[in-house]
Amino acid sequence: MGNYYIDKSLLFQTSNAKINATVKSFTNSTPESVILVASNSPIQGSFPSAYLLEAHTSNGKIDLNVTDKSPKTLKNGAKIILDTSNGYISGIYDVNSEWHASTSNGKINTTLNLVNSTVDDLILISGQTSNGGVNAFLKNFKN
């Protein structure tokens, strides 16, 4: 697909063609939403953290790099939802509130950077798969 810049929100939707993009924020602010929807194809690329990031596909993998140059700028309340069937989920994600991944017939293999978190913060992390394993490496980034 290519290189793109985002200010407020982004929607990529395709059928039978992969999503593979590098996206950056215009102002280094946190976008409201990044929605990626594909059928019968993978979703790949680098995207800025957003208040809501969703990636949904069938018959394809999800392999994303969802990070910020400065994790300190990531606002609390960001939610990441990843869902596929017949594919694996992998990548690196900055997480400060919620991260959910679900697949069937595939594994989950990710690195989760827990950013701006303290011992009192509640971060929800869930990974669900059938016919595959789960391997999540958690890293704590101090602000």
Alpha carbon distance 117, 47 (integer Å): 21
Under-50 pLDDT residues of the chain: 143
pTM of the model as a whole: 0.90
Sign for the pseudo-dihedral over CA of 138, 42, 65, 79: negative
Question: What pLDDT is recorded for position 106?
Answer: 93
pLDDT of residue 122: 77
